[in-house]
Chain A
Amino acid sequence: MAGLATYLPAYLIFALLLFSFGLIAALARRSAIGIFMGVELMLNGAALNFVAFQALRKGVIANDSWLHGHIFSLFIIVLAAIEAAVALAIVLRVFGSRQTIDADRADQLRG
Chain B
Amino acid sequence: MRSLLGVSPVLVLTFGSLFILVAGLWVRNKAFQFWTSMLSLLVAFGLFLGLAEKPAQDLFSGMIAHDGLATFFGAFSVFATAIVLVMSHTSKEIKADRRPEYYSIVLALATGLCFMASANHFLMIYLAIETVSILSYTLAGFKREDGKSVEASLKYVVYGSMASAIMIFGMSLVFGVTGQFTLTGLREFFATPDGASAPLLLWVGVLMTFAGLGYKISAAPMHMWTPDVYEGAPTPVSALLSVAPKAAGLGLLIRFFVVGFGQNLDGSELAVSNLTDPTALGFHVTSAFNWTQFLIISSAFTMFMGNLAALGQTSVKRILAYSSIAHAGYMLMGLTTQTAAGIEAIMFYMVIYCLMNVGAFWVAGKVEDTLGGDDLQHFKGLVQRRPLYAICMAVFLFSLTGLPPLAGFIGKFYLFNAVLGREMYGLALIAGLNSVISLYYYVKIAKAMILEAPQLPFPQGKTPFESRSSQVFIVLLAVPNLILGLYWEPLMNLVRDMLSVFAG
Contact of B269 with A by CB under 8 A = no
Q: Which of B147, B151, B313 has the largest number of chain A CB atoms within 10 A? A: B151
Assuming the contacts A26-B162, A68-B181, A72-B122, asked whether A109 and B169 have C-beta atoms less than 8 A apart, the reply is no
Nearest B residue (CB) for A91: B154
Chain A residues contacting B123 (CB-CB under 8 Å) are 68, 71-72, 75
Binds A, one of B44-52, B130-138, B437-445: B130-138
Q: Give per-residue flags for B140-156: 1 if the beta carbon is below 8 A from chain A beta carbons, else 0.
A: 01001101101111110
Let me know if B161 and A97 touch, CB within 8 A: no
Within 8 A of B (CB), among A64-111: 64-65, 68-69, 71-72, 75-76, 79, 82-83, 86-87, 89-91, 93-94, 97-98, 103, 106, 108-111
Q: How far is the CA of A91 from the CA of B156 in the complex (A)?
A: 12
Which residues does chain A contribute within 8 Å of B153, judged by CB atoms?
Answer: 90, 93
Indicate with 1 or 0, residue by residue over A34-47, a CB within 8 angstroms of chain B CB atoms: 01100100110111
Q: Which of A15, A22, A26, A109 contacts B228 (CB 8 A)?
A: A109
CA distance A30 to B479 in the complex (A): 48
Q: Indicate the member of B122, B161, B227 with the most A CB atoms within 10 Å.
A: B161
Q: Which residues of B contact A87 (CB under 8 A)?
A: 137, 157, 161
B158 contacts A111, C-beta separation under 8 Å = no
B36 at the interface (CB under 8 A from A): no
Q: Is the CB of B162 within 8 A of A109?
A: no
Q: Which residues of A contact B301 (CB under 8 A)?
A: none
Is A2's CB within 8 Å of the partner chain B?
no
> Is B179 touching A57 in the complex (CB atoms < 8 A)?
yes
Looking at chain A's contact residues, the main secondary structure is: helix
User: Given the known A-B contacts A32-B158, A46-B165, A68-B123, are A86 and B137 also in contact in the complex, defined by CB atoms under 8 Å?
Assistant: yes
Tell me whether A32 and B154 are in contact in the complex, defined as CB-CB below 8 angstroms, given that A61-B179, A86-B137 are known contacts.
yes
A53 CB-CB contact with B under 8 Å: yes
Q: B127 contacts which of A50, A79, A89 (Cβ < 8 Å)?
A: A79
A105 to chain B, nearest CB (A): 10
**CB proximity of A33 to chain B, nearest CB, Å:** 11
| Distance from B40 Cβ to chain A, minimum over Cβ atoms (Å) | 23
Docked Cα-Cα span, A51 to B133, in Å, equals 25
> Which residues of A sit under 8 angstroms from B138, Cβ to Cβ?
86, 89-90
**Which residue, of A36, A50, A71, has the highest number of chain B Cβ atoms within 10 A?**
A50
* C-alpha gap A53/B157 in the complex (Å): 29
> Which of A23, A49, A91, A109 meets B152, CB within 8 Å?
A109
Chain B residue contacts of A89, Cβ below 8 A: 138
Whether the pair B147, A108 counts as a contact (CB closer than 8 A) is yes
A106/B127 in contact, CB under 8 A: no
Which B residue's beta carbon lies closest to that of A44?
Answer: B165
Contact of A53 among B162, B164, B172, B228 (CB under 8 A): B172
Asked if A109 and B141 make an inter-chain contact with CB atoms under 8 angstroms apart, the answer reads no
A109: B residues at CB distance < 8 A: 148, 151-152, 155, 227-228, 231-232
Interface size on B, as a range, is 35 or more
Of B155, B168, B231, B312, the residue contacting A76 (CB under 8 A) is B168
A1 to B397, CA, bound (A): 63
Q: CA of A22 to CA of B161 in the docked complex: distance in angstroms?
A: 12
With A91-B154, A106-B155 known as contacts, the answer to whether A69 contacts B141 (CB < 8 A) is: no
Residues of A within 8 A of B166 (CB): 23, 42
| B421: interface (CB < 8 Å) | no
- Are the CB atoms of B158 and A103 closer together than 8 Å? yes
- B126 interface residue, CB < 8 Å from A? yes
Complex: chain B residue closest to A26, CB-CB: B162
Q: How far does the alpha carbon of A72 sit from the alpha carbon of B180 in the complex, in Å?
A: 13
B165 touching A22 by the CB < 8 A rule?
yes
Which chain B residue lies CB-closest to A103? B158
B474 cross-chain contacts in A, Cβ below 8 A: none
Q: B165 touching A53 by the CB < 8 A rule?
A: no
Chain B residue at smallest Cβ distance from A97: B147
Residue ID in chain B nearest A93 by CB atoms: B150
A85 (CB) vs chain B CBs: closest residue: B134
Given A75-B127, A93-B150, A109-B228, residue A49 in contact with residue B172 (CB < 8 A): yes
Which residues on the B side are within 8 Å of A15 (C-beta)? 172
B185 contacts across to A, CB distance below 8 A: 65
Please encode chain A, from 14 to 38, with 1 for each CB lying within 8 Å of some chain B CB and 0 for all others.
0100010011001000001001100
Q: At the interface, yes or no: B173 with Cβ under 8 Å from chain A?
A: yes
In the complex, chain B residues whose CB is within 8 Å of the CB of A71: 123
Known: A42-B162, A83-B134, A90-B150. Contact between A111 and B315, CB under 8 A? yes
- Report B194-233 CB contacts with A as 1/0, cut-off 8 Å: 0000000000000000000000000000000001100110
With A46-B169, A61-B179 already in contact, the answer to whether A106 and B154 are too (CB < 8 A) is yes
Q: How far is the CA of A42 from the CA of B228 in the complex (A)?
A: 25
- Return the 3 tightest CB-CB contacts between A and B, nearest first: A49-B172, A42-B165, A53-B176
What are 11 residue pairs bridging A and B, where the CB atoms are less than 8 Å apart in the complex? A26-B165, A35-B158, A36-B158, A42-B162, A64-B61, A65-B180, A76-B168, A79-B130, A91-B154, A109-B148, A110-B228
